[in-house]
Amino acid sequence: MNEQALLAKQANKPLAGLTVLELGHFIAAPHCSRLMADLGAQVIKVEAPGCGDPVRSWGMSTKGNTLWWSVHGRNKQCITLNLKDPQGIELAKQLIAQVDIVVENFRPGQLEKWGLGFSTMQQLNARVILVHISGYGQSGPYRDRVSFGAIGEAFGGLRHLTGYPKEVSDLPPVRTGVSLGDSLSGMFAVIGALSAVYERDVAGSGVGREVDVALYESVFSLLEGALPEYGEFGAVRHPTGAAIPTAAPSNTYRCADGMWLAIGANGDKIFKRLCIIINRPELGESELYDSNPKRVANAPMLDNLIENWTLTQDSREAEQLLLANDIPAGRIFNIEDCAKDEHYQARGMVMQVADPRFGEVTHPGVVPKFIGQEPGISWPGPAVGAHNHDIYREMLGLSAEQLEKHLEQGVI
Protein backbone atom coordinates (compact mmCIF):
# COMPACT_ATOMS: atom_id res chain seq x y z
CA MET A 1 0.00 0.00 0.00
CA ASN A 2 1.52 3.35 -1.03
CA GLU A 3 1.69 6.52 1.03
CA GLN A 4 -1.43 8.09 -0.48
CA ALA A 5 -3.54 4.99 0.13
CA LEU A 6 -2.39 4.91 3.74
CA LEU A 7 -3.10 8.57 4.32
CA ALA A 8 -6.55 8.22 2.76
CA LYS A 9 -7.49 5.92 5.65
CA GLN A 10 -6.60 8.69 8.08
CA ALA A 11 -8.14 11.56 6.10
CA ASN A 12 -11.41 11.93 8.02
CA LYS A 13 -9.91 11.91 11.50
CA PRO A 14 -9.53 15.06 13.68
CA LEU A 15 -5.74 15.42 13.32
CA ALA A 16 -5.60 14.68 9.60
CA GLY A 17 -3.09 16.99 7.92
CA LEU A 18 -0.74 17.08 10.90
CA THR A 19 2.63 15.38 10.32
CA VAL A 20 4.68 13.99 13.20
CA LEU A 21 8.23 12.65 13.11
CA GLU A 22 8.88 10.19 15.93
CA LEU A 23 12.51 9.90 17.00
CA GLY A 24 11.52 7.70 19.90
CA HIS A 25 11.94 4.24 21.33
CA PHE A 26 10.54 2.10 24.15
CA ILE A 27 7.23 3.53 25.45
CA ALA A 28 6.88 7.24 26.23
CA ALA A 29 7.50 8.93 22.86
CA PRO A 30 5.98 6.08 20.83
CA HIS A 31 2.87 6.22 23.03
CA CYS A 32 2.61 9.96 22.44
CA SER A 33 2.82 9.60 18.68
CA ARG A 34 0.48 6.59 18.65
CA LEU A 35 -2.22 8.66 20.34
CA MET A 36 -1.84 11.31 17.65
CA ALA A 37 -1.77 8.67 14.91
CA ASP A 38 -4.99 7.17 16.27
CA LEU A 39 -6.59 10.59 15.79
CA GLY A 40 -5.40 10.98 12.22
CA ALA A 41 -1.93 12.52 12.29
CA GLN A 42 0.58 11.19 9.80
CA VAL A 43 3.25 9.69 12.06
CA ILE A 44 6.61 8.73 10.59
CA LYS A 45 8.44 6.50 13.05
CA VAL A 46 12.22 6.36 12.73
CA GLU A 47 13.93 3.12 13.80
CA ALA A 48 17.48 1.83 13.64
CA PRO A 49 18.12 -0.34 10.57
CA GLY A 50 17.74 -4.05 11.19
CA CYS A 51 16.58 -4.25 14.80
CA GLY A 52 13.91 -1.57 15.12
CA ASP A 53 12.28 -0.44 18.36
CA PRO A 54 13.07 -2.69 21.37
CA VAL A 55 9.33 -2.99 22.11
CA ARG A 56 9.06 -5.13 18.98
CA SER A 57 10.55 -7.97 21.05
CA TRP A 58 8.67 -7.33 24.31
CA GLY A 59 5.79 -9.43 25.60
CA MET A 60 4.16 -12.58 24.31
CA SER A 61 4.74 -13.45 20.68
CA THR A 62 3.31 -15.66 18.00
CA LYS A 63 4.82 -16.55 14.63
CA GLY A 64 7.99 -14.77 15.75
CA ASN A 65 6.30 -11.41 16.30
CA THR A 66 5.14 -9.77 19.51
CA LEU A 67 1.49 -8.87 19.84
CA TRP A 68 2.14 -5.63 21.70
CA TRP A 69 3.84 -4.12 18.67
CA SER A 70 0.67 -4.54 16.62
CA VAL A 71 -0.91 -1.99 19.00
CA HIS A 72 2.14 0.11 19.90
CA GLY A 73 3.03 0.85 16.29
CA ARG A 74 -0.44 1.08 14.79
CA ASN A 75 -1.44 3.83 12.36
CA LYS A 76 2.24 4.77 11.93
CA GLN A 77 4.54 4.69 8.92
CA CYS A 78 7.80 2.98 9.85
CA ILE A 79 11.12 3.85 8.26
CA THR A 80 14.68 2.91 9.09
CA LEU A 81 17.36 5.55 9.51
CA ASN A 82 20.83 5.43 11.04
CA LEU A 83 21.15 8.59 13.13
CA LYS A 84 24.79 7.76 13.86
CA ASP A 85 25.67 8.20 10.19
CA PRO A 86 26.21 11.72 8.75
CA GLN A 87 24.14 10.79 5.71
CA GLY A 88 21.38 9.63 8.04
CA ILE A 89 21.44 12.99 9.79
CA GLU A 90 21.05 14.75 6.44
CA LEU A 91 17.99 12.63 5.67
CA ALA A 92 16.60 13.42 9.12
CA LYS A 93 17.01 17.12 8.37
CA GLN A 94 15.06 16.72 5.14
CA LEU A 95 12.25 15.10 7.10
CA ILE A 96 12.30 17.77 9.81
CA ALA A 97 11.93 20.43 7.12
CA GLN A 98 8.56 18.96 6.15
CA VAL A 99 6.87 18.00 9.43
CA ASP A 100 4.80 19.83 12.05
CA ILE A 101 6.02 18.05 15.18
CA VAL A 102 9.10 16.08 16.23
CA VAL A 103 8.71 13.82 19.28
CA GLU A 104 11.79 12.37 20.97
CA ASN A 105 12.69 10.59 24.21
CA PHE A 106 16.47 10.34 24.13
CA ARG A 107 18.57 11.58 27.04
CA PRO A 108 18.84 15.39 27.14
CA GLY A 109 21.55 16.66 24.81
CA GLN A 110 21.53 13.68 22.45
CA LEU A 111 19.86 15.55 19.61
CA GLU A 112 22.48 18.31 19.91
CA LYS A 113 25.24 15.68 19.67
CA TRP A 114 23.73 14.57 16.37
CA GLY A 115 23.46 18.15 15.15
CA LEU A 116 19.67 18.07 15.46
CA GLY A 117 19.08 20.54 18.29
CA PHE A 118 16.07 22.85 18.25
CA SER A 119 18.01 25.81 16.88
CA THR A 120 19.07 23.68 13.91
CA MET A 121 15.52 22.43 13.44
CA GLN A 122 14.18 25.99 13.36
CA GLN A 123 16.67 26.94 10.66
CA LEU A 124 15.26 24.07 8.62
CA ASN A 125 11.62 24.70 9.52
CA ALA A 126 10.58 27.69 11.63
CA ARG A 127 7.17 26.10 12.25
CA VAL A 128 8.45 22.83 13.69
CA ILE A 129 7.49 21.91 17.26
CA LEU A 130 9.98 19.79 19.19
CA VAL A 131 8.55 17.68 22.02
CA HIS A 132 11.08 16.28 24.48
CA ILE A 133 10.19 13.44 26.86
CA SER A 134 12.84 12.48 29.40
CA GLY A 135 13.12 11.15 32.92
CA TYR A 136 13.94 14.42 34.67
CA GLY A 137 13.42 17.12 32.05
CA GLN A 138 15.76 19.24 29.95
CA SER A 139 17.04 21.31 32.90
CA GLY A 140 17.85 20.92 36.59
CA PRO A 141 20.58 19.04 38.47
CA TYR A 142 19.19 15.60 37.54
CA ARG A 143 18.66 16.20 33.81
CA ASP A 144 21.40 13.78 32.78
CA ARG A 145 20.23 10.87 34.91
CA VAL A 146 19.06 7.78 33.07
CA SER A 147 15.49 6.78 33.86
CA PHE A 148 12.63 4.45 33.00
CA GLY A 149 8.96 4.54 33.90
CA ALA A 150 9.39 2.62 37.15
CA ILE A 151 12.08 5.06 38.31
CA GLY A 152 9.93 8.06 37.44
CA GLU A 153 7.04 6.58 39.42
CA ALA A 154 9.37 6.14 42.40
CA PHE A 155 10.90 9.64 42.22
CA GLY A 156 7.55 11.21 41.39
CA GLY A 157 6.03 10.05 44.69
CA LEU A 158 3.49 7.62 43.26
CA ARG A 159 5.22 4.38 44.22
CA HIS A 160 5.26 5.40 47.89
CA LEU A 161 1.45 5.51 47.85
CA THR A 162 0.86 2.06 46.37
CA GLY A 163 0.20 -1.08 48.38
CA TYR A 164 -0.93 -1.32 51.98
CA PRO A 165 0.05 0.48 55.21
CA LYS A 166 3.11 -0.80 57.06
CA GLU A 167 0.97 -2.17 59.87
CA VAL A 168 -0.78 -4.40 57.31
CA SER A 169 2.13 -5.43 55.08
CA ASP A 170 5.90 -5.03 55.15
CA LEU A 171 6.23 -5.80 51.43
CA PRO A 172 7.78 -3.09 49.24
CA PRO A 173 5.60 -0.52 47.44
CA VAL A 174 4.10 -2.25 44.43
CA ARG A 175 4.21 -1.45 40.74
CA THR A 176 0.89 -0.72 39.07
CA GLY A 177 1.32 -3.61 36.61
CA VAL A 178 1.78 -1.41 33.53
CA SER A 179 4.26 1.33 32.61
CA LEU A 180 2.03 4.07 33.98
CA GLY A 181 4.75 6.73 34.18
CA ASP A 182 5.73 6.27 30.54
CA SER A 183 2.15 6.39 29.32
CA LEU A 184 1.34 9.45 31.44
CA SER A 185 4.32 11.36 30.08
CA GLY A 186 3.25 10.40 26.56
CA MET A 187 -0.22 11.81 27.22
CA PHE A 188 1.15 15.06 28.64
CA ALA A 189 3.40 15.26 25.58
CA VAL A 190 0.32 15.12 23.36
CA ILE A 191 -1.21 17.98 25.37
CA GLY A 192 1.99 19.98 24.98
CA ALA A 193 2.30 19.25 21.27
CA LEU A 194 -1.28 20.20 20.44
CA SER A 195 -1.08 23.31 22.64
CA ALA A 196 1.96 24.40 20.63
CA VAL A 197 0.09 23.70 17.39
CA TYR A 198 -2.79 25.88 18.63
CA GLU A 199 -0.39 28.68 19.55
CA ARG A 200 1.28 28.46 16.14
CA ASP A 201 -1.75 28.03 13.89
CA VAL A 202 -4.74 29.51 15.74
CA ALA A 203 -3.30 32.10 18.11
CA GLY A 204 -1.11 33.10 15.19
CA SER A 205 2.49 32.98 16.40
CA GLY A 206 3.39 31.21 13.17
CA VAL A 207 6.43 29.55 14.73
CA GLY A 208 7.11 26.37 16.63
CA ARG A 209 8.50 25.96 20.12
CA GLU A 210 10.11 23.37 22.39
CA VAL A 211 7.96 21.34 24.77
CA ASP A 212 9.65 19.77 27.81
CA VAL A 213 7.91 16.79 29.46
CA ALA A 214 9.58 15.10 32.43
CA LEU A 215 8.38 11.64 33.31
CA TYR A 216 8.55 12.20 37.07
CA GLU A 217 6.59 15.47 36.74
CA SER A 218 3.85 13.71 34.82
CA VAL A 219 3.45 11.35 37.77
CA PHE A 220 3.91 14.04 40.43
CA SER A 221 1.20 16.22 38.90
CA LEU A 222 -1.42 13.57 39.72
CA LEU A 223 -0.82 13.43 43.48
CA GLU A 224 -3.95 15.46 44.24
CA GLY A 225 -3.66 17.33 47.56
CA ALA A 226 -0.53 15.60 48.84
CA LEU A 227 1.79 18.59 48.32
CA PRO A 228 -0.39 21.39 49.76
CA GLU A 229 -1.24 19.16 52.72
CA TYR A 230 2.46 18.71 53.37
CA GLY A 231 3.14 22.41 52.88
CA GLU A 232 0.44 23.48 55.34
CA PHE A 233 0.52 20.73 57.95
CA GLY A 234 3.72 18.76 57.36
CA ALA A 235 1.47 15.77 56.67
CA VAL A 236 2.93 12.94 54.57
CA ARG A 237 0.49 10.65 52.81
CA HIS A 238 1.08 6.93 53.10
CA PRO A 239 -0.40 3.87 51.38
CA THR A 240 -4.03 3.18 52.18
CA GLY A 241 -4.58 -0.11 50.38
CA ALA A 242 -7.85 -0.33 48.47
CA ALA A 243 -9.61 2.40 50.45
CA ILE A 244 -9.90 6.11 49.72
CA PRO A 245 -8.57 7.89 52.84
CA THR A 246 -10.85 10.93 52.48
CA ALA A 247 -14.16 9.23 51.68
CA ALA A 248 -16.06 6.31 53.19
CA PRO A 249 -17.29 3.80 52.52
CA SER A 250 -15.18 3.45 49.39
CA ASN A 251 -13.29 0.19 49.31
CA THR A 252 -13.05 -3.24 47.73
CA TYR A 253 -14.86 -6.15 49.34
CA ARG A 254 -14.56 -9.90 48.86
CA CYS A 255 -17.66 -11.78 47.73
CA ALA A 256 -18.87 -15.36 48.20
CA ASP A 257 -17.49 -16.45 44.80
CA GLY A 258 -14.00 -15.15 45.62
CA MET A 259 -14.33 -12.09 43.38
CA TRP A 260 -13.69 -8.57 44.61
CA LEU A 261 -16.33 -5.87 44.40
CA ALA A 262 -15.56 -2.15 44.53
CA ILE A 263 -18.25 -0.09 46.26
CA GLY A 264 -18.31 3.70 46.49
CA ALA A 265 -21.10 4.84 48.83
CA ASN A 266 -19.50 7.89 50.41
CA GLY A 267 -22.40 10.29 49.75
CA ASP A 268 -24.85 10.57 52.64
CA LYS A 269 -27.92 9.55 50.64
CA ILE A 270 -26.05 6.81 48.82
CA PHE A 271 -24.79 5.46 52.13
CA LYS A 272 -28.32 5.23 53.53
CA ARG A 273 -29.41 3.25 50.47
CA LEU A 274 -26.45 0.91 50.96
CA CYS A 275 -27.41 0.34 54.59
CA ILE A 276 -30.86 -0.82 53.49
CA ILE A 277 -29.37 -3.17 50.87
CA ILE A 278 -27.04 -4.84 53.39
CA ASN A 279 -29.93 -5.21 55.84
CA ARG A 280 -28.46 -2.74 58.32
CA PRO A 281 -30.74 0.31 57.94
CA GLU A 282 -29.91 1.49 61.46
CA LEU A 283 -26.34 2.28 60.34
CA GLY A 284 -27.68 5.04 58.12
CA GLU A 285 -29.16 6.78 61.16
CA SER A 286 -26.24 6.17 63.52
CA GLU A 287 -24.29 9.18 64.81
CA LEU A 288 -21.13 7.19 64.05
CA TYR A 289 -21.82 7.33 60.31
CA ASP A 290 -24.11 10.31 59.63
CA SER A 291 -21.44 12.36 57.81
CA ASN A 292 -18.47 11.58 55.63
CA PRO A 293 -15.86 12.74 58.22
CA LYS A 294 -17.42 10.41 60.81
CA ARG A 295 -17.53 7.52 58.34
CA VAL A 296 -13.87 8.11 57.49
CA ALA A 297 -12.98 8.06 61.20
CA ASN A 298 -14.84 4.77 61.62
CA ALA A 299 -14.03 3.29 58.22
CA PRO A 300 -12.40 0.01 59.39
CA MET A 301 -15.46 -0.93 61.44
CA LEU A 302 -17.79 0.12 58.64
CA ASP A 303 -15.85 -1.85 56.03
CA ASN A 304 -16.12 -4.99 58.16
CA LEU A 305 -19.89 -4.57 58.37
CA ILE A 306 -20.18 -4.19 54.60
CA GLU A 307 -17.95 -7.18 53.90
CA ASN A 308 -20.03 -9.30 56.25
CA TRP A 309 -22.76 -8.80 53.66
CA THR A 310 -20.67 -9.15 50.48
CA LEU A 311 -19.23 -12.45 51.72
CA THR A 312 -22.74 -13.88 51.48
CA GLN A 313 -23.27 -12.59 47.93
CA ASP A 314 -22.31 -13.61 44.43
CA SER A 315 -20.26 -10.71 43.05
CA ARG A 316 -22.27 -10.29 39.84
CA GLU A 317 -25.61 -10.41 41.68
CA ALA A 318 -24.39 -7.98 44.33
CA GLU A 319 -23.13 -5.60 41.66
CA GLN A 320 -26.47 -5.64 39.85
CA LEU A 321 -28.43 -5.15 43.08
CA LEU A 322 -26.31 -2.17 44.09
CA LEU A 323 -26.46 -0.57 40.64
CA ALA A 324 -30.22 -1.05 40.54
CA ASN A 325 -30.37 1.08 43.69
CA ASP A 326 -28.09 3.77 42.22
CA ILE A 327 -25.09 2.78 44.34
CA PRO A 328 -21.75 2.91 42.45
CA ALA A 329 -20.30 -0.60 42.33
CA GLY A 330 -18.15 -2.67 40.02
CA ARG A 331 -16.42 -6.02 39.99
CA ILE A 332 -12.62 -5.99 39.68
CA PHE A 333 -12.09 -6.97 36.04
CA ASN A 334 -9.14 -8.82 34.57
CA ILE A 335 -8.36 -8.57 30.87
CA GLU A 336 -10.61 -11.53 30.02
CA ASP A 337 -13.53 -9.80 31.72
CA CYS A 338 -12.81 -6.62 29.76
CA ALA A 339 -12.53 -8.43 26.43
CA LYS A 340 -15.85 -10.23 26.87
CA ASP A 341 -17.87 -7.39 28.35
CA GLU A 342 -20.75 -6.10 26.22
CA HIS A 343 -20.13 -2.45 27.10
CA TYR A 344 -16.50 -2.60 25.97
CA GLN A 345 -17.65 -4.17 22.72
CA ALA A 346 -20.55 -1.78 22.17
CA ARG A 347 -18.22 1.23 22.45
CA GLY A 348 -15.56 -0.23 20.19
CA MET A 349 -12.98 -0.64 22.93
CA VAL A 350 -12.27 -4.26 21.96
CA MET A 351 -11.58 -4.45 18.24
CA GLN A 352 -10.40 -7.14 15.86
CA VAL A 353 -7.76 -5.72 13.53
CA ALA A 354 -6.42 -7.51 10.47
CA ASP A 355 -2.66 -7.99 10.76
CA PRO A 356 -0.67 -9.63 7.94
CA ARG A 357 1.58 -11.38 10.46
CA PHE A 358 -1.11 -12.81 12.73
CA GLY A 359 -4.39 -12.85 10.85
CA GLU A 360 -6.37 -10.87 13.42
CA VAL A 361 -5.20 -9.17 16.60
CA THR A 362 -7.42 -7.90 19.41
CA HIS A 363 -6.71 -4.19 19.89
CA PRO A 364 -7.95 -1.67 22.45
CA GLY A 365 -10.07 0.97 20.75
CA VAL A 366 -9.28 4.64 20.22
CA VAL A 367 -9.63 7.15 23.07
CA PRO A 368 -11.19 9.72 23.12
CA LYS A 369 -14.37 9.12 21.15
CA PHE A 370 -15.80 11.79 18.87
CA ILE A 371 -19.59 11.68 18.79
CA GLY A 372 -20.80 10.91 15.29
CA GLN A 373 -17.36 9.79 14.11
CA GLU A 374 -15.51 6.51 14.44
CA PRO A 375 -11.73 7.14 14.28
CA GLY A 376 -11.02 3.43 14.01
CA ILE A 377 -7.69 1.71 13.48
CA SER A 378 -6.34 2.13 9.98
CA TRP A 379 -3.56 -0.47 10.14
CA PRO A 380 -1.55 -2.42 12.73
CA GLY A 381 2.07 -1.85 13.71
CA PRO A 382 4.09 -2.29 10.49
CA ALA A 383 7.28 -4.23 9.87
CA VAL A 384 10.67 -2.56 10.29
CA GLY A 385 11.23 -0.21 7.36
CA ALA A 386 7.86 -1.02 5.81
CA HIS A 387 7.43 2.52 4.49
CA ASN A 388 10.95 3.35 3.38
CA HIS A 389 9.86 3.56 -0.25
CA ASP A 390 6.81 5.71 0.50
CA ILE A 391 8.69 8.24 2.62
CA TYR A 392 12.09 8.37 0.95
CA ARG A 393 10.88 8.14 -2.66
CA GLU A 394 7.50 9.87 -2.55
CA MET A 395 7.97 12.38 0.29
CA LEU A 396 11.67 13.24 -0.01
CA GLY A 397 12.00 12.54 -3.72
CA LEU A 398 15.02 10.22 -3.57
CA SER A 399 15.74 8.24 -6.73
CA ALA A 400 15.70 4.46 -6.79
CA GLU A 401 19.50 4.54 -7.14
CA GLN A 402 19.91 6.79 -4.10
CA LEU A 403 17.62 4.58 -2.04
CA GLU A 404 19.53 1.45 -3.02
CA LYS A 405 22.86 3.11 -2.21
CA HIS A 406 21.65 4.15 1.24
CA LEU A 407 20.49 0.60 1.88
CA GLU A 408 23.86 -0.84 0.86
CA GLN A 409 25.73 1.64 3.08
CA GLY A 410 23.53 1.02 6.13
CA VAL A 411 22.17 4.57 6.15
CA ILE A 412 18.60 3.28 6.08
Where in 233-367 does DSSP place strands (E)?
250-254, 260-264, 329-331, 350-355, 359-364
Q: Is it true that the peptide bond before 249 is cis, omega within 30 degrees of 0?
A: yes
SS3 135: coil
Query: Which of 182, 303, 355, 390 does the annotation list as catalytic?
Result: 182
Which helix (H) or strand (E) segment is 233 a member of? helix 226-233
Exposed/middle/buried for residue 359 (C-beta within 10 Å: 0-12, 13-18, 19+) = exposed
What are the residues whose beta carbons fall under 8 Å from the beta carbon of 250, sequence distance 6 or more? 243, 244, 263, 264, 265, 266
Q: Which of 266, 131, 255, 284 is nearest to 193 (CA)?
A: 131
Q: Which residues have CB under 8 Å from 269's CB, separation 6+?
A: none
Can you tell me the distance from the alpha carbon of 54 to that of 59, in angstroms, rounded to the nearest whole number? 11
Question: What's at 235, amino acid-wise?
Answer: A
Task: Classify the phi-psi angles of 397: left when phi > 0, otherwise alpha if psi is within -120 to 50, otherwise beta.
Answer: left
Q: Is 182 a catalytic residue?
A: yes
CA–CA dist 363, 350 (Å, integer): 6
Active site residues: 182
